[in-house]
Amino acid sequence: MEAAISSSTSGVGGCPDVGGYRVTPMDHHPKFEHSRFIGDKRTQLVYDLDEWDDRSIIDEIVADGVGLSFGPDTLAEARNRGYSLAKPGSRRRHRKPRA
């Protein structure tokens, strides 16, 4: 874990500090460590890694090579590209990516 430098209650990057350590909901996959939003080309769903808890779906996206990050890394950019925000339990039919 990364030690917090600031003693503020909001922590580094808006994450809470607990016992002097930065707490994040889920560690980002190494391939997308600097991205918050990851898109699945098969389903046109975008996953917010700061809010998403199920790591198996992200690992599947990376293993199948169908992950996509956005620039700028915002939900608005993902929506501009036709992606919808994934919610726990939401499913869509898997399609073969065109690109």
pLDDT for the residue 99? 60
Q: What is the pLDDT of residues 9-61, one digit of tens each?
A: 444 445 555 455 444 455 666 777 789 999 999 999 999 998 988 889 999 99
pLDDT band of 64, cuts 50, 70, 90: very high
Side-chain-facing half-sphere of 78: CA atoms under 13 Å: 24
Is residue 21 within a helix (H) or strand (E), and if so which, with residue range?
Answer: strand 21-22
Name which of 17, 9, 14 is nearest 1 in CA terms: 17
Burial class (CB in 10 A: 0-12, 13-18, 19+), 77: middle
Would the pTM count as exceeding 0.85? no
Of 56 and 1, the structure prediction assigns the larger pLDDT to 56
